[in-house]
Structure 1
Amino acid sequence: MIDYLKHVISESKTGQIPYDDYMNIVLYHPDFGYYMKQKEKIGKGGDFITTSNISNVFGILFADVFLKLFSKVELKPHLCEIGGGNGRFAKAILDQVHSKDPDLYDRLTYTLIESSPYHQSLQQSILETHRGIEQFQSVEDMQKTYPEFNGIIFSNELYDAFPVSVIEKHNNELYEVMVALDNEGKLVERYIPLSNKAILTYLEEQNISLKEKQRFEVPLAMQEHIEKLGIWLNKGIVITVDYGYTNEEWKLPEHSKGSLRGYYKHQLVESALEHPGEMDLTTHIHFDSLVTAGEKSGLNYVTKLRQDRFLLAAGILDYLQEHHDTNPFSEKSKQNRALRSLIMEGSMSAAFHVVIQEKNISIAWDEILTSW
């Protein structure tokens, strides 16, 4: 990966590349990219943990929500999960649908969009007993089979791994942060006056103004992706689960250094230039941008709920088991600890939100949301 980056940077016209190009390479290069490698990434043996892998109840609760939506809304029985990871969430969904509504299960198509061959193989293994499974590498790949989509599109911690542009403000001027090589061949940051029209348009449309020395990530790739989803979706619902901030929250002093960082063997790494190709990179997503980009392509905003409150409304307390088992390693004890970790004050769920958008759906959303 280092050799490849040196080649790309040295071959560029200016001897430097923007951060979104750097992230695309280190995360998604087909041979050297972090997500594309045949290695464990999620869980104890990997570099990070996701909420869907803390407990299968996370998937069970979303399955109950999906079942209610399919019962209340005239929708084609098609679920599309983008970025399905190791397949644990999909298994929890399908197990629950099979148990609670066998008729829907027999009609249901579950599509996983996953760019990583390693994760695709894990999905195939864990879902081998289920029917109606499809796999595609990208939305564009899926569009060859489904020129338009009808149903429910779901993602969990998808957009936080999308490449971003990075900018900073110094001496009342905006600069784009680039990735270059120093005299010793090490990766370093360089600053150039901001001239990227797409970034400038983003700042204008979102009414973003930076304070002195503020660093800010611009999610152009996320915007493009959600706009494409809106165009592709004919009738259905888009549910996005991720951590992030609103435009107002980005103004807070504690966010002045931006949010781009790495996770390496479950340790937070401040510099995104460390361990290229061996480390997960992530940013907090821009919720206002997610909504406005969707609206451009016909996605109507329904609601944004903090994940812990969403899980409580969806019935997570029903799965907390009463027991008198003094063994802290019993299955009941482990499940209860996992569930509490999702809803306790200060838990990781407090940082996550569930965003719901829809297209061509005519229902009383207030009634459905309160019924969860």
Structure 2
Amino acid sequence: MSSLPQILRAKLAATPSGRLPFAQVMELALYHPEHGYYGPGPLKIGRQGDFFTSVSVGPLYGKLLAMRALQDWQALGKPAGFTIIEQGAHDGQLAEDILSALEGHNFRYLIVEPNPAYREAQARRLDGHPVHWVENLAALKSIPLHAFFVCNELPDAFPVHLVRWNGERWEEMFVEPDGAEAFRFIPGSCSCEDLEAEVKHLPHDLTTGHVLEINLAMLAWIRDLAQSAFRGSIFIADYGLDAEEFYADARAEGTIRRYRQHQMDGHVLEDLGGCDLTTHVNFTRLIEEALRHGLLQREYDLQGRVLGRMATAWIQSLEGSPLDPATMRQFQSLTHPALMGRSFRCLILEKPPSP
């Protein structure tokens, strides 16, 4: 049985140049159906997994998103057929938390999921709930008409191209074999026109060797999302930075990292398929592309501030009654600057009716 490094070496040997853009290597390492990190099915998240997410903190995150969805539904005039759409639903835990918080409301729940193993795991968890599945965003070009779209830590897992400033121009970083077992990076010209267009807008005054990630898949994703039929809000939560923060000397090695058992390092060509690969989202570039395709920016801030504002009406409704200890711990984990409150950012876009 072939391992993922063996599969990669065969792919490299089959290419005329003997090398591949890092984006193709990252896609293989994460999404190969048998040997990719995410490919075979949902992973354990939290203390027993490789990383924490806002969802793994507890059900409060889903409750806050449910309250936001309810507010949007009311602002839209309480339309029939209102749908919550989630992409990157993993094992269905966030969907279960949102639906539990919305018990009594006749909302549809739609999950965008191309992987059959994930759909099966989600269906088991969500048995009895009004959930439907589609394979991709193209299925949303005609329905639903009103929706609240949510994704938690999705764009950071899209395969990225790596580029490096050589003191005179931006070069793409390719992957090639390094001896019998390992792999290494080698610079070259951009592998596609879309990447060439992106690097034209990058600064030319950075330190020689500065590495940046170019997430072409994220830009294609937000364009597809902008073409969907629904009217409503889009909630994107992820860890990321503004464009200027990417250019700081402190991040000259880029933000691409591998995660395993809550440990992080930059050895992204080692143990391919056996660890998570992730990169910070360039929120400046994401917002630019969203606005260019007709979406409207409603809110962009640190997660702690966004969730704190979302929780205001709910906390006021308690009329001074304290939160129970478990809920308080969850709220602090999600919003405190020393925990997830500063590490993650939230972007809320508005999608007006399709022309």
For residue 262 of structure 1, report the CA deviation from its aligned partner: 0.8
**Where does residue 17 of structure 1 map in the other structure?**
20
8 Å contact kept, 2:162–2:214? yes
For residue 322 of structure 1, report the CA deviation from its aligned partner: 4.1
1:111 equivalent to 2:104? Answer: no
Q: In the superposition, relative to structure 1, how do residues 242 and 292 fare at CA in structure 2: closer, same or farther (>3 Å)? A: same
SS at match of 1:36: coil
* Deviating more after overlay: 114-123 vs 225-234: 114-123
CA distance in 2, matches of 1:175, 1:167: 5
**Where does residue 131 of structure 2 map in the other structure?**
133
**Where does residue 80 of structure 1 map in the other structure?**
85
For residue 207 of structure 1, report the CA deviation from its aligned partner: 6.2
Pairing partner for 1:354 from 343, 346, 349: 346
Amino acid at match of 1:15: G
8 Å contact kept, 1:173–1:193? no
**Where does residue 329 of structure 1 map in the other structure?**
none
* Deviating more after overlay: 305-314 vs 159-168: 305-314
CA distance in 1, matches of 2:94, 2:269: 31
Pairing partner for 2:270 from 244, 252, 274: 274
8 Å contact kept, 1:243–1:285? yes
Deviations 1:125-148 (A, max 9, x none): 221132x201233224x34xx535
For residue 70 of structure 1, report the CA deviation from its aligned partner: 0.5
CA distance in 2, matches of 1:189, 1:91: 42
- TM norm structure 1: 0.85
Tell me how many residue pairs correspond in the alignment.
343
1:45 equivalent to 2:44? Answer: no
Amino acid at match of 1:168: R
For residue 206 of structure 1, report the CA deviation from its aligned partner: 6.3
Amino acid at match of 1:354: C
Identity of counterpart residues, as a percentage?
25
Q: In the superposition, relative to structure 1, how do residues 85 and 195 fare at CA in structure 2: closer, same or farther (>3 Å)? A: closer
CA distance in 2, matches of 1:259, 1:133: 36
CA distance in 1, matches of 2:55, 2:202: 31
8 Å contact kept, 2:170–2:199? no
1:304 equivalent to 2:296? Answer: no
8 Å contact kept, 2:226–2:295? yes
Amino acid at match of 1:72: A
Question: Comparing both structures, which one devotes a greater share of its residues to helix?
Answer: 1
**Where does residue 210 of structure 2 map in the other structure?**
214
Deviations 1:196-221 (A, max 9, x none): 43223113356676432211000111
**Where does residue 169 of structure 2 map in the other structure?**
173
CA distance in 1, matches of 2:306, 2:157: 23
SS at match of 2:253: coil
Q: In the superposition, relative to structure 1, how do residues 174 and 44 fare at CA in structure 2: closer, same or farther (>3 Å)? A: same
Q: In the superposition, relative to structure 1, how do residues 234 and 205 fare at CA in structure 2: closer, same or farther (>3 Å)? A: farther
CA distance in 1, matches of 2:349, 2:199: 23
CA RMSD of aligned residues (A): 2.3
CA distance in 2, matches of 1:115, 1:258: 29
1:339 equivalent to 2:342? Answer: no
SS at match of 1:212: coil
* Deviating more after overlay: 3-12 vs 112-121: 112-121
CA distance in 1, matches of 2:227, 2:202: 21
For residue 309 of structure 1, report the CA deviation from its aligned partner: 0.7
For residue 233 of structure 1, report the CA deviation from its aligned partner: 3.6
CA distance in 1, matches of 2:202, 2:170: 16
Q: In the superposition, relative to structure 1, how do residues 221 and 61 fare at CA in structure 2: closer, same or farther (>3 Å)? A: same
For residue 11 of structure 1, report the CA deviation from its aligned partner: 0.6
SS at match of 2:222: helix
CA distance in 1, matches of 2:13, 2:225: 36
8 Å contact kept, 1:113–1:136? yes
8 Å contact kept, 1:233–1:359? no
Q: In the superposition, relative to structure 1, how do residues 269 and 214 fare at CA in structure 2: closer, same or farther (>3 Å)? A: same
Q: In the superposition, relative to structure 1, how do residues 18 and 195 fare at CA in structure 2: closer, same or farther (>3 Å)? A: closer
- TM norm structure 2: 0.89
Q: In the superposition, relative to structure 1, how do residues 95 and 112 fare at CA in structure 2: closer, same or farther (>3 Å)? A: same
8 Å contact kept, 1:170–1:212? yes
For structure 1, list consecutive stretches of 5 or more residues without a partner in the other structure.
324-331, 362-372
Q: In the superposition, relative to structure 1, how do residues 275 and 97 fare at CA in structure 2: closer, same or farther (>3 Å)? A: same
Q: In the superposition, relative to structure 1, how do residues 271 and 233 fare at CA in structure 2: closer, same or farther (>3 Å)? A: farther
1:91 equivalent to 2:115? Answer: no
For residue 350 of structure 1, report the CA deviation from its aligned partner: 0.6
8 Å contact kept, 1:36–1:117? no
CA distance in 2, matches of 1:200, 1:219: 13
CA distance in 1, matches of 2:6, 2:111: 33
SS at match of 1:34: coil
CA distance in 2, matches of 1:254, 1:321: 45
